[in-house]
Amino acid sequence: MILRAGRRRGLTIVAVLTVLAGVASAAPVKSRVVLVAPFDASALEAEDRWIGEAVGEVLRLSLVQHRAFIPLERSRLRALGTPTAWGNDVVQQAARTTRADVAVFGRVTRARDDLVIHPRLLEVKPGTDPVALEDVPVPDGQLLAKLATLPLLYARTLRVTLTEAEAARIEKAARPTRSVRALELYARAYMALTRGGQEANESAVDLLSRAIESDASFVAAQYSLGTVHQALGNRWKAAAQYRAATQLDPNQPEPYKAIGDLFLVQPRRLFDQALEAYAKAIELRPFYADAHVGLGDARAAKGDTDGAIKAYQQALVYNAMNPRVHLSLGKIYFGEKGLYYESVNAYKKAIELDPASVEARMGLGEVYEDKGLWKEAADEYRRVIELDGKHTGAMYNLAIVFEKTDPREAIAQWERYIALASQLPAEKDWVDVARQHLRKLRNQIKD
């Protein structure tokens, strides 16, 4: 059997089993997974509906500043589709699907010449309904100032105790730009990204670039532009944007975490630089779970499995509902030690939390394949292809699985893989191997 994923060995059983013990011994923290939905602005004129997205983005940027709030990743919301409006029913269903503890959402309307923001809050418990918070009138020219009041309004409603320093940090984050035009372009960029795909990314690049032209000190726009460049494969442009963000505000952890992610996937294996970037992000925000996961991944890449486990422990302490940490644990359980049950459970947990996680489904498929569970492996690879029709790794592995169960279907799958992958220079060696498999199968059937 040919597996495309390399596997490392050397994880001690003691290190693996200390994960749950380390998490269990950690002091409990009252934190909430928060679904931040775009506010429903369908009552506004078409040219003003970006304001609903802007409200959601301001809340996301500000609530993440406090350990009590764990905003769901935007990718989790995109996986739910693009509803016409995030009303009560849609939000309740989305919150339960994503296993959020709290949902913050609302509407934006117009009363005469002024806007009115109608905040809503849902605590996801049996028998609970959304509650209305105090309406926030927005006189002409006061949008940025009024948006900045919303995060503290939600914090008070949720009975979160804030120090003066914490409140100031949240309020500062709720004022990400001094330009309404820059905020509009930023919000429109995220509206574009909900569509997904190359065209949406290219549109977001244009909008974010124009947002930065409107306000060059808009740090969130700077590193957001970097993430879109990275998604497009423009690593140098991404790095330039992340560096620009750190220079504008060296106290923002997100750009450092993004730099770590970029170093981790560099062809030159810049693991030490990734470690440094993740450590800086954690220094700035000790409860930044994704940065702890990145730190663990970088340590694992360097062969420091005990250090990786320790970082994953910390990530689970700060966010046990983070699908990325369960994904990383799945990799290390199986790739380092071959612990079948532990790896399957970790991958399944990652998928439970994020059903659109292609990487977790690929990992689970490879575990099943390694154990000869062909049907289960094929099911996972098919699901990956449903999520990403151009995922050459899943197409390749599915063909390998079909060779064990259905040679004629394997031939068809190899042909599909070759048709797609032969257009990609990075797949050249794999395409050559695929053609060898195809010739062998055809000869077998003839015989």
Q: For 217-362, list the strands marked E by DSSP.
A: none
pLDDT digit string, tens, across residues 76-85: 777 676 777 8
Residue 151's Cα: distance from chain center in Å?
22
Residues 333 and 396: their CA atoms lie apart, in Å, by 24
Residue 329 one-letter amino acid: L
Q: Residue 44 carries which DSSP code?
A: S
Q: Which helix (H) or strand (E) holds 118?
A: strand 114-123
- Of the chain, the percentage scoring pLDDT greater than 70 comes to 93
Q: What are the pLDDT digits (tens) for 205-251?
A: 999 999 999 999 999 999 999 999 999 999 999 999 999 999 999 99
pLDDT of the residue at 430: 94
pLDDT band at 447; cut points 50, 70, 90: low
- d(CA 311, CA 313) in angstroms, rounded, equals 5
Q: How far is 436 from 418, CA to CA, in rounded Å?
A: 11
Q: Check residue 126 and give its pLDDT.
A: 82
CB neighbours (10 Å) of residue 111? 10
CATH 1.25.40.10 domain position(s) in the chain: 324-447
Task: Output the pLDDT for position 306.
Answer: 86
Query: What SS3 class is residue 32?
Result: strand
- Average per-residue pLDDT in the chain? 89
403-430 residue pLDDT tens: 999 999 999 999 999 999 999 998 999 9
CA-based angle 135:141:142, to the nearest 5?
40
CATH 1.25.40.10 holds for 324-447? yes
3.40.50.300, 3.40.50.10490, 3.40.50.10070, 3.10.20.30: CATH of 32-175 = 3.40.50.10070
CA angle 57, 59, 60 (to 5 degrees): 65
CATH 3.40.50.10070-classified regions of the chain: 32-175
Q: 190 or 21: whose pLDDT is higher?
A: 190
For the stretch 39-61, pLDDT in tens is: 999 999 999 999 999 999 999 99
pTM above 0.85, yes or no: no
Beta bridge partners of 123: 102
Report the 3 state secondary structure along 77-94. HHCCCCCCCCCHHHHHHH
